Amino acid sequence: MAAWTTDDIPPQQGRTVVVTGANSGLGLATTRALVDAGARVLMAVRDVEAGGRVAAELGGAVTVGRLDLADLTSVREFAAGVDHPVDVLVNNAGLMGIPKARTADGFEMQLGVNYLGHFALTGLLLDRITDRVVTLSSGLHRLGRIRLDDLNYDSGRYERWTAYGQSKLACLMFAYELEYRFTGSGSRLRSMAAHPGYAATNLQSRTETVADAVMGVLNKVIAQSGEDGALPTLHAATAPDLPGGMYIGPGGPGEMWGAPVPVGSSAASHDRAVRRRLWDLSEDLTGVPYPV
């Protein structure tokens, strides 16, 4: 079977996609490919001025909306402004390996942006989504452990990479649990997860440590492009017959690069008891109850 590429994206005319973090990195590559395929894309971005410049360059049916995933008020305002059906929601935006910080609502920043903000956004948009939700995880979800007793590092030592791993494990568990609930409620909606492998983006330049320089070198030597890194997301978002609950990543060595294929995930990601407790805790923290 030939490797899946953007040439395999079905025509997207008449379809609407919301992409978070759409003005740079993987989000921009995802948005560009969807627009080229004919989709209407709502770019959900923190900086609407920068997003507007990108939208003007892209052409096509592109609109821009302000979304700050580190502020639940902004998440609610964005969701309230979406007054039309959304075929696909792509939960793409994220932070990686940053120093300890807090969101406007007091959440640990990586968990708040990567996971809790998207959990709230998905729940608030769910009555307008008509096809599927795609949530970005990472191969580094395997570093994570869901700290149900201290999810936001309110006590104890903060370690940025285990915090990142927790946030991406939470994203993956959310995608699986959402699909479980869709199926159990008889919904026709689908929930997918994807990860980009090692893709060269600006995500690797925010740790404020020597790791930024190291990853900058690795980006040039071993990383695949942002366009290739976006392929798993695009496959999860557009493949018409893809079953819900799939996790799509690069098929090459170590899932670092290569064409998108279904991939496996850690045993922890399939722990239904923890997934259920994380879900309940997420509803409590965000104040967003789900109808499924």
CA–CA gap between residue 275 and residue 281 (Å, rounded):
10
User: Encoding tokens for residue 190?
Assistant: 């689908």
Average pLDDT over residues 156-171: 96
Between CA 229 and CA 72 the distance in angstroms is: 28
How large a percentage of the chain has pLDDT more than 70?
92
pLDDT score, position 206 = 52
Q: What is the structure's pLDDT at 269?
A: 98
Q: How far apart are CA 36 and CA 9, in angstroms?
A: 10
What's the pLDDT score for residue 2? 83
Torsion of CA 10, 126, 147, 269, to 10 degrees: -40
Tens of pLDDT, residues 134-157: 999 999 999 999 999 999 999 989
Q: Residue 247: what residue type?
A: Y
Q: In this structure, is residue 4 part of a structural domain?
A: no
Domain residue limits at 239: 13-286
Q: What is the pLDDT of residues 248-282, one digit of tens each?
A: 999 999 999 999 999 999 999 999 999 999 999 99
Look at residue 131 and tell me if it is in a domain. yes
pLDDT per residue as tens digits for the range 34-69: 999 999 999 999 999 999 999 999 988 999 999 999
Residue 158 lies inside a defined structural domain of this protein: yes
The catalytic residue among 115, 153, 158, 164 is: 164
Q: Helices in 61-203 by DSSP H: which ranges?
A: 72-80, 109-111, 117-125, 160-185
For 186, residues 6+ apart whose C-beta sits below 8 A from its C-beta are none
Residue 226 lies in a domain: yes
Structural domain contains residue 48: yes
At residue 218, does pLDDT exceed 80?
no
Both tokens of 167, joined, read: 């946030």
pLDDT band at 216 (very low <50, low <70, confident <90, very high): low
Question: Is 183 exposed, middle or buried, given 0-12, 13-18 or 19+ CB atoms closer than 10 A?
Answer: middle
As a whole number of angstroms, the distance between CA 91 and CA 39 comes to: 17
Q: Is 135 helix (H, G, I), strand (E, B) or coil?
A: strand
Residue 164 a catalytic site member: yes
Structural domain includes residue 211: yes
Would 30 be classed as within a structural domain?
A: yes
For the residues 13-17, what does the mean pLDDT come to?
98
Q: Where residue 176 sits, what CATH number does that domain have?
A: 3.40.50.720
For residue range 236-247, list pLDDT tens digits in order.
999 999 999 999
The number of domains in the chain is: 1
pLDDT of 205 strictly over 50: no
Residue 214 pLDDT level (bands cut at 50, 70, 90): very low
Q: Give the separation between CA 23 and CA 31, rounded to whole angstroms.
A: 8
Residue written as token pair 């939208």 = 55
**1 domain residue, yes or no:** no
Residue 38 DSSP class: T
| Confidence at residue 217, expressed as pLDDT on a 0 to 100 scale | 46
